Each structure stands twice: as structure tokens, then as C-alpha cells.
Amino acid sequence: MSDFINKLYKNQALFYKVFLFVLTSVLIVYLLPKGGKFKYDIPKGKPWQYENLYAPFDFAILKTDEEIAAERQDITRSHIPYYNFNTEKPENIKEDALQEVQNVFPDTTLNVYETIIDDFVGETVDRVYEFGLLQESERLGPDQSVYLLKGNEASEIAYRRILKQGEIRSFISDEISNAGFSSFKTELLEVFFNSIEPNVTFNNDLTQKELQSKLNNISYTRGIIEQGSRIIAKGEVVEGNKYNILRSLKAEYESQVWSQSNYNWIIVGYSGLVALALLMLLLFMRKYRIAIFENNVKVTFIFFNIIFMVMLTTLVVNFNIDYVYVVPLCILPLTLKAFFDARLGLFTHVITVLLLGFIVPNSYEYMFLQIIAGIVTILTVSELYKRANLFISVGQITLVYIIAYFAFTVIQEGNIDDMKPEVFLTFLLGGLATLFVQPLIYVYEKIFGMVSDMSLLELSDTNSKLLKELAEKAPGTFHHSLNVANLAEAAANEINANAMLARVGALYHDIGKMHNPTYFTENQTTSVNSHDELSPRESAQIIIEHVIKGIEIAKKNNLPDRVIDFIRTHHGTSTVYYFFKKEKEANENTSPEDFRYPGPIPFSKETAILMMCDSVEAASKSLKEPTSVLIDNFVEKIINKQMEEGQFLNSNITFKEIQMVKKILKRKLKNIYHLRIEYPE
């Protein structure tokens, strides 16, 4: 039982990767659409490259978006609006008008003409309200039909037959003139204007309800294709009605209700493809990025980003497929390049795009655009911490999207008339969303404890609290660290290593010397040497201890692990040779292990560069009268000794790169000591 537990413990990292692999696969499969997948691409405007296609079942032909839009427009244009007719108001108004006759006309007139005037007023009110009086001005054409609602009955009439408020004066004036009452026109107009008011109102709710009902009843199909009918023959051009029929078949196929058995097989198929894609990513890391593969936090980070992009794309597709290009997919390679390298970023991007091909329509077009955009992202953004570089890259990514979309549209349509300007807006929005990568990287650093070049740029500021403390407590060490940082940066640039990381590592590699600064020669300002009162063993322990103290100070100040690695490895497993030799003179049996740094040896190009630069810069202070030849031999001797001790075996640095570093160090040291070529006399 104990052996089994030990085996589990030893392989816990592997078990975690298996668990992460399975969990990621399950989550992605869960997010994928579960309908059937149409097995043919529909190349609009191109010949049909597959075998003759026959209808596998009966299905309806879908109308195009343009046909449906035109039909909706026709329905909206021809829709008859509803108006409410108040049947009680005319009777009340007639009574009010007759009462107004008594108030307006003098008694002398009423004694003679009251009956005639009352009859005229009553008949005129009836004519005014025959089809009603409407307050609004002309909103419809005169020949437009409307429904006039009287209670529960609706009658269709021409809109012009309803009297408008603006027409009432001329209408009544004409009635007065035609009846021969011109002599009483002023009084009659006063009667009517004091009593008449609109009784017809527009019924917006019923009008919109009826319109929506008609729009909802639009048929989205036209015609039926029977099972067994030939849809298209090999070599026929996919265009016009053929394209619509193929599009209809694809939609019907993918929307069918599948049986439980079919559904299970679809899940199995998706699981196999997703697992295969993720397995390729793991194998890539295991073969070419073993350090990342062995770090479970980094593997988790990569898989999390894939899930995040798949989830974000799924949400956008479910919300509105037209916004699929707003998803800033190029954030993925940008993020991975910031934390790891360009090749891993691009490989992961391609794997993610392949998985998204199951979700989006026009998958070939989508994958082509996204892969090209990912390549452009990797090629253009070299230093993400420089804001100008990011803006330039976003502009180039957006331009690539636009050019590719333009090309696809021309190929499919044969012209540019069907170009959709709103698509260009989605590309622009997607490009702007890519700028979110900087705050996202900051969040990732806090969550996953990793460090990017942007954080390294902040750490390289010599006005930071820790470096100012180093300059105050150990000024000689601070000056030494600055010199080493300059050398390391130049060497890293020469062999295409991470120059920013090498510089930051060099700035902080000796912060442990703040603990006992006077025990290190660069900080001794007098002729008194603190080591004179100590034995060689004690002196060696103090010197070695600066590595341990440096790690403690770094962790206390929350320096990233990538920077702490430089503190751990900058002396590797070398010996404090001066005190070892001094002790050996007194005791021949002295073991070098007592004078050896704890290590580990450098395990990256950057840490190897620091070891070389640190040793060379520190030892160069002992040169009394440096010459060009002396410096060349001096650099060769120090670095060759480190190679003989096997200090660079784990650092993935080649002999050629070491030679290039030597060349840089020689040149830089000659510049420091202002050496010139000696010309012959």
C-alpha cells in the first residue's frame, strides 16, 4: 500500500495534467453545438467539387435574408392602421352646439330663425362626424385605407374621408355658404368652434399588434425539395437558387432533433477531436518546451486561456453571430508571447482556432482570417511593454482582417456590391478590444504568479524601493550590478535571449550583500578588511550566505520567481576559490564541498549569461594594467573554467552562443577600460 501511495505522490504532476486535460476537453465539448455537422463546405461562386448530391430527406427551401427583408417591408408599407371612433361624443357635441345657438344669437334673430338655425346646426354636426373628426394633420396618403373602429365593429374607409382639425374651418364655411346662411356666418362659426372637438384617435396598440402578427406569420421558406431529388451535380457552379437550396439543406441537417443514440455519437466524435487537438498541444510542449510542460501552473494557464476564448466566442455566437469578429482572439497569442515565447503562442492560437471552427459559421473563412491575424500578431509585436508597438500591431491586425474579408467577398460574390460595411466596424471593434491585453496580463500575473516583460520593465527602474536600499547600504554592489546588467543585456541581445529578463536579473542578483555589505570588497572604503579577523571557513560562509539572504529579501519584497532564479544560480555550484585556497594552504585535507555554493547551476540562457557577466565583471577589477590581449585571455580563462565545471549543462546554451557572449564581453570591457588599438611605429 505504501508503495502505491509513493507512486501516486511521485506521479502527482502527471495525474494533475491528465485531470486538467480531461476537464478542459469536457468543458470545450460542453460549449460546442450538439447538432449534426454538415459534412460539405458550400463554396459560393465556385464549382461543386464533391460527388452528385441528392436530398437525404424532404426539406423546405429557405428564403434569403433579402427576400425576407423585402417581404417585411411590403407588409409594413401596406398595413392598414386602426382609428378609434367615439360614438357618444357627436350626440353630446350636437346638444352643446344647440345650447351655444341660444347663447350666441340674439333673441330677435331666434324669434324668427331658431328652427332653421337649429336644423342647420344639427345637420352640419352630423356631416362633420359622419366619418369623424381627427386632430392630427396629414400622416397618411389620401388614398390610404384605414380601419375605423366603432365599438366592436371596424369599417375600412379612405383616410381622406376622415375630417382633420385643420380642415374644419373651410368645411364649415362651405356648409354655411351652401345653405345660404352667409349673413349669420360669424355667429355660426362661433357656435361650431365653441362646441366641436375631435372624436377620432389613432389606435397605436392595435395597429402595432396587427402588424406584428402579420410579420410573425411570414413564411421563411418557399417550396419543397423531395427526398432523392438531385440538388447539385459535380462541377456545377454554386450560385443563385442552387446556393440557397444547399444552404437550406445545411440548416435543416444541423437543426434536426437527434435521437439519444445520435446525440451520444456526436458527443463521442466531438470528444475525440477536441482531445486530439489538446493532446497535440501537450506533445508540443513536452518535446519543445519541457520546462513549461513540467510546470503545472503554466500548463493550467495555457489551458485556461483556451477555455476562456472558446467560452467568449460561444457567448457572442449565441447572442448575435454578426459580432463573432468582435471577439479579440489575437489576445491569446499576445498573452502567451508575453509570458512564454512566440512559437508556443502561435501553436496554441492555431489549436484554439481549429476548435472554434466547430462553433462559427463559414468555418474555413473564419479560421483563415484568425490564423493569418495570429501570425501577424506574432510577427509584429516584439516588445509588448512599449505601448506604441501594441497600437501599431492592432492597426496591422485590423488591416489584415479587412483585406482578407474583402478578398473572400470578391471571390464569393464576383463583385463588391454585396460588401457589408458593418463587418468592417466589427473588425475595428475587435482590434480595439485587443488593447485589453495589457490589463489582462496584469490580472494573470496576480492570479498565476507569473511575470511578463511589462512587469520586468517596472522592476528595471533603479528608483524602485529595493534598488534604492541596495544603493544606500551597499553602493559598490549596486554599481557592480549596474555594470553586470549592461553586460548581460548586450550579451542577451547578441544571442536572441530575453534581454529585459537578463537585465532585471542582473540588477537584483546581489541584493543579499545588503546583509553584510562590508564583507565584500566592492563595498570596502578603507584599508580595513573585515575578513582579517575571521577564518577562511567563516569568511567563505559569509560570502556563500549572500545567496540565501538574497532569496529571503527577494521573497519578502515579492520579486517574481523568474527573477529569484538569477539570485539562486548566479554562482551555480562553484567554490569560493580564494578562501578555499587559503584554507588549503593551512590544511591539505580541506574539502572543496565546504566552500561550494549550494546551486543550482543555471537552467536558462539568461541565467547562464548572468553567471558569465557577473564573474567577468567582478574579476576585471583585479586587472592592474589591462591590455586588449590581457582582457581576451582573461575572459576566455574565466568562462572556460565555468564550462569545465559543467555550470552550463542545464542552460540550453550552445557553444556558438557562448563564443558570441565572450565576444561581447571582450568588446565591452575594452570600452570600459578605454583601450585603443596600438598602431605600429
Residue 392 has pLDDT above 60, yes or no: yes
Question: Angle at CA 294, nearest 5°, toward 288 and 297?
Answer: 115
Q: Which residue has the cell 534581454?
A: 499
Q: Is 521 in the same domain as 574?
A: yes
Q: Is 77 within the bounds of a domain?
A: no
Q: Is 492 in the same domain as 427?
A: no
The predicted structure's pLDDT at residue 402? 85
Q: Is 415 in the same domain as 460?
A: no
CA dihedral 611, 614, 617, 621 (to 10 degrees): -120
> What mean pLDDT comes out for the span 629-655?
90
d(CA 406, CA 418): 10
Q: Is 378 in the same domain as 420?
A: yes
Structure letter (DSSP) for residue 415: S
> What mean pLDDT comes out for the span 636-649?
91
Q: Is 12 in the same domain as 96?
A: no
> What mean pLDDT comes out for the span 278-290?
92
Q: Is 460 within the bounds of a domain?
A: yes
Q: Is 663 in the same domain as 586?
A: yes
The maximal CA–CA distance of the chain, rounded, in angstroms, is 153
User: 135: Cβ–Cβ under 8 A, 6 or more apart, which residues?
Assistant: 164, 165, 198, 200, 201
Q: Is 457 in the same domain as 436?
A: no
CA dihedral 312, 318, 321, 323 (to 10 degrees): -40
* Number of neighbouring beta carbons within 10 Å of residue 537: 17
pLDDT tens figures, 486-543: 999 999 999 988 888 999 999 999 999 898 888 888 877 777 777 777 888 888 888 8
Query: What is the span of the domain harbouring residue 284?
Result: 2-36+260-448
pLDDT tens figures, 93-149: 888 888 888 888 888 788 888 888 888 888 988 988 888 888 876 678 778 889 999
Q: Is 303 in the same domain as 369?
A: yes
Q: Is 242 within the bounds of a domain?
A: no
- 148: three-class secondary structure by DSSP: strand
Q: Among residues 202, 222, 242, which one ends one of the domains?
A: 202
Strands (E), 183-220: 200-202
The predicted structure's pLDDT at residue 676? 47
What's the Rg (C-alpha) of the chain? 43
Q: Is 41 within the bounds of a domain?
A: no
> What mean pLDDT comes out for the span 32-40?
68
The predicted structure's pLDDT at residue 418? 66
The partner residues of 54 in beta bridges, in order of sequence, read 230
- 551: three-class secondary structure by DSSP: helix
**Does residue 596 come out as left (phi exceeding 0), alpha (psi in the -120 to 50 range) or beta?**
beta
The partner residues of 110 in beta bridges, in order of sequence, read none
Residue 670 has pLDDT above 80, yes or no: yes
Q: Is 483 in the same domain as 627?
A: yes
The predicted structure's pLDDT at residue 183? 83
The predicted structure's pLDDT at residue 7? 62
Total tally of structural domains belonging to the chain: 3
Q: Is 380 in the same domain as 461?
A: no
Q: Is 65 within the bounds of a domain?
A: no
Q: Is 504 within the bounds of a domain?
A: yes
Higher-confidence position of 453 and 278: 278
Q: Among residues 202, 235, 251, which one ends one of the domains?
A: 202
Q: Among residues 177, 202, 227, which one ends one of the domains?
A: 202
Q: Is 498 in the same domain as 629?
A: yes
The partner residues of 53 in beta bridges, in order of sequence, read 232
Q: Is 237 within the bounds of a domain?
A: no
Classify strands 53-54 and 145-150 as parallel, antiparallel or unpaired.
unpaired
Q: Is 580 within the bounds of a domain?
A: yes
This prediction has a pTM of 0.63
pLDDT over 90, % of the chain: 23
The predicted structure's pLDDT at residue 113? 83
* Number of neighbouring beta carbons within 10 Å of residue 423: 16
Q: In Å, what is the CA distance from 490 to each residue of 87, 314, 500, 640, 660?
A: 95, 46, 10, 20, 11
Closest CA to 312 of 31, 22, 33, 35: 31
pLDDT tens figures, 656-669: 999 999 999 999 88
The predicted structure's pLDDT at residue 483? 92
Q: How many helices (H) and strands (E) does the chain have?
A: 28, 10
Q: Is 479 in the same domain as 595?
A: yes
For residue 653, the domain's CATH number is: 1.10.3210
d(CA 127, CA 121): 10
Q: Are 663 and 619 in contact (CB under 8 A)?
A: no
d(CA 130, CA 147): 14
